[in-house]
Every structure is written in structure tokens, then in C-alpha cells.
Amino acid sequence: MKTSYNLRSIAAKAINQVLDQGLSLSTVIPELQKNISDKDKALLQEICFGVLRTLPQLEWIIQQLMDKPLKGKQRILHYLIMVGLYQLLYTRIPAHAALAETVNGAVALKKPQLKGLINGVLRQFQRQQDILNERFQNSESRFLHPSWLLARIKKAYPEQWMSIIEGNNQKPPMWLRVNQRHHSREEYLTLLENEEIPAIADDSHPFAIRLENPCNVNLLPGFADGWVTVQDRSAQRCAELLAPENKEQILDLCAAPGGKTTHILEIAPQAQVLAIDIDEQRLKRVQENLTRLKLNAVVKSGDGRYPEQWCTGMKFDRVLLDAPCSATGVIRRHPDIKWLRRNDDIEQLAQIQKEILHAIWPYLKSGGTLVYATCSILPEENKQQVEAFLASTKDAQCDYQHQCLPEEEGGDGFFYALIKKI
């Protein structure tokens, strides 16, 4: 492991890879964390996620403090300034330390001639911080969302849009799913209490526990032995709605990274589960989760639009379709979604969802159950998608549907529809 590095320069590189190269934080961060010490891994994540959560504010401040934006080969220094501003605004890092480490980042990025510029911008911000913060609260950037997404949320939720935006801009709570094959939820709460990890049970979800403060999974009692899984409260509802039973043939479609696959098998350990996902790399996570929890499923790579390529002669009692979507319900967990998604993505995603729904329906047994789920809050992917499917599918009947919105101490934004084949 490298012992000499500048964390702020690494953070600037990560932000550059997201904003200029279109990579996701979940792809970038694990790679960069390989080269830094354990104690710095959490700080790198905090800075990168924080910068992308508050990006419009940081951009707005830089515009006020600099006559010309940094471009071309110097663009990486633009992101380094953002790293410095985020630390001064949102972390408890002493200002002198944040400033010094950020300025030194220019050396690590082989741009030592720009140390003075970075130092000057950050010190100018310190002098004007109060007035700039006040002016920002009256700017159009204060909602911290791209304009196209803000417009869609306002249209879909004219009464609730502000609370949705505020929820998206919060740091997410950490939810656990207790594996009932090992402990009851009450027993696991006691184990957490013994380790001095404050936690609260959720009455509306039988397996869910929220930690008062997120922590490293290795500190959780029995995590390596499969006693508990990190999974948002809203996501846990999918397997609960599916209500799997032992001996049934069950399809988990778009299964990676495997949280719902393993939940199905915790509820019905003797079910025959086929887990399908188009992303072979992410399928490795499904297998890792199954191994940790000592559960068995058939894991295959495949495209949900073409089940004939991976499913020969099988029909299923139950299908869980966690459809590819805009992920607009989990922005607080993945703030890069705001900058990686585009307005025209929504129509394209809705078309893919439609194709998968119609393609997989013939593989559901008569009398069977399909749970359609997304981590989106947009009607085009959810309510409107289900309505269109029901209108064009005579033997489909929707018994239940519900849209969750992101809540500060609650679950993520999620949609579910329980569709029966009659």
C-alpha cells in the first residue's frame, strides 16, 4: 500500500472521472480506495459524495470568486478547489489543515504553479463566507438539483416537491435487515446494544433496523456470518410483497447486487431461485452475498428483454422485477445520479421497462405473482408504466401499488406494484 499520497488530489480525480468521464462513484471510489489507508477511506468517500451532493453550490461560489473558469488540462484544479470549499463548508476538519492539504493537492496533480491560485480562492472564500452563503440561498442553484429533474419532480409532486428535494440533499440513514434464520430482530437489537451501536426497529417492516449513526459493516455483530445485511427499509418491502414460499420456482430479474435475492431465500430457504442480471461484474456481488449468507441460487447473466436466451422451458410461481430505472429515489445514496442522468434517459428507460415486463409475462404461471419495483419516484417509470401494461395485458390484474418518497429518517424513494396473472 502506498504510504505517501495526497487525499484531496485523489478526491479531485474521482470527481473528474464522474463529471467529465461519466463514471459512477460506486465504480470509481472502490478503485481509488485500494491505494489509501483504512483511516482515509471514509474521508475520501465523505468528500467525494459531499461534493457531488452540493455541486451547484460549489460551482456557484467558484463563479463568484474567479473571473475565468479553469479549463482543459487545468480542469482537475477546478475540482480540487471544490474539494477545498466542501471541507470548509461541511466538515469539521480544521480550516488551516483543509487549506494546506488542498493547496498541496496541486503539487500531487503536477500543477505546483497553481498553488497560489488555489490558496487565494479558498482564503477569499473564508473572508466572504457569510455574505456568499446568504446570497446563495437566494440563487436558483439553492435546490442542488439539475433544472430538468427539478421540473419533473415539481410536476409530479406539486405539494411535496420541496420535501423530496430536501430529502435528496440529506445524508442517507443506514438500514439493516436482520436474518431471521439466526436471530429475531429483538435479539439482534440486544447484540447491537452490547456493542454500543444505537439502533431503532421499524414497526412497519418486520426485519428492519435503522442505525442512529452509520458504521463500518465489520463492526456489526455477525456480519461476516450472515446474521445481518445492509439494505434500505424500502428495498426490503420487495421480498415481503413477493411473499415467496418453499419449493416454489422464483425468478429474481435484474438481481444484482443480490440484496433481494438473499432476502427471498431468507424467507423461503427451500425456494428454487434463479437470479438474472445483464451486468456480469455486478453478478459477482450476488454470488458474494449468497456465499456470506450461506444460501443457494442459480446465478446467470442475461437480458430481461430476451428471456428465451437464458430461460428454456421454465415457468415461475413468482417473479420479482426490480426494473432498470432512473434511480431518482436513491439520490441521497448516490448523488452522482443528478449529474449522470439526462432528461431524455427517462423515456428510454421507460421503454426498456415496458419491453422487459411484456417479455417476462409469458414465463409467469397462471395464478402467479409478479412484483414490479423501481427505485424511482417518476410516474413515467412507475404508475404510468403499470397502467399501460394492465391496459394491454388481458390476464393481468394489479392487487396493490404504492409509491414511497425519500424520508429523512425513513426509507428511500421506491415504487411497488403487485400484479397477478388471472
Could you tell me which residues are annotated as the binding site? Answer: 254-260, 277, 303, 322
Catalytic sites, residue numbers: 375
Reported as type and span, the H/E element at residue 389 is helix 383-392
Q: What share of the chain is helix, strand, coil (3-state, %, to 5)?
A: 50, 15, 35
The set of cell numbers assigned to 369 is 405473482
Q: At what angle do helices 38-53 and 55-65 cross, to 10 degrees?
A: 80
Pairing between β-strand 249-253 and β-strand 316-322 as defined by DSSP bridges: parallel
- Contact (CB, 8 A) for 364 and 319: yes
Coil, strand or helix at 162? helix
Reduced to 3 states, what is the DSSP secondary structure of residue 323?
coil
The annotated binding site for S-adenosyl-L-methionine is made up of 254-260, 277, 303, 322
3-class DSSP assignment, residue 222:
coil
Residue whose C-alpha cell is 459512477: 24
For 267-307, the DSSP string reads: H-TTSEEEEEES-HHHHHHHHHHHHHHT---EEEE--TT-G
Q: How far apart are CA 143 and CA 139, in angstroms?
A: 9
Contact 138, 195 (CB under 8 A): no
Angle of the 95-108 helix axis to the 7-19 helix axis, nearest 10 = 70
CA dihedral (222, 225, 226, 231) in degrees, to 10, reads 50
- The pairing of beta strand 298-301 with beta strand 174-178: unpaired
Sequence letter at residue 138: N
Cβ atoms 299, 272 nearer than 8 A: no
DSSP 8-state symbol, 375: S
Tally Cβ neighbours within 10 Å of residue 255.
Answer: 29
Q: What's the rounded Cα separation, in Å, for the pair 391 and 102?
A: 57
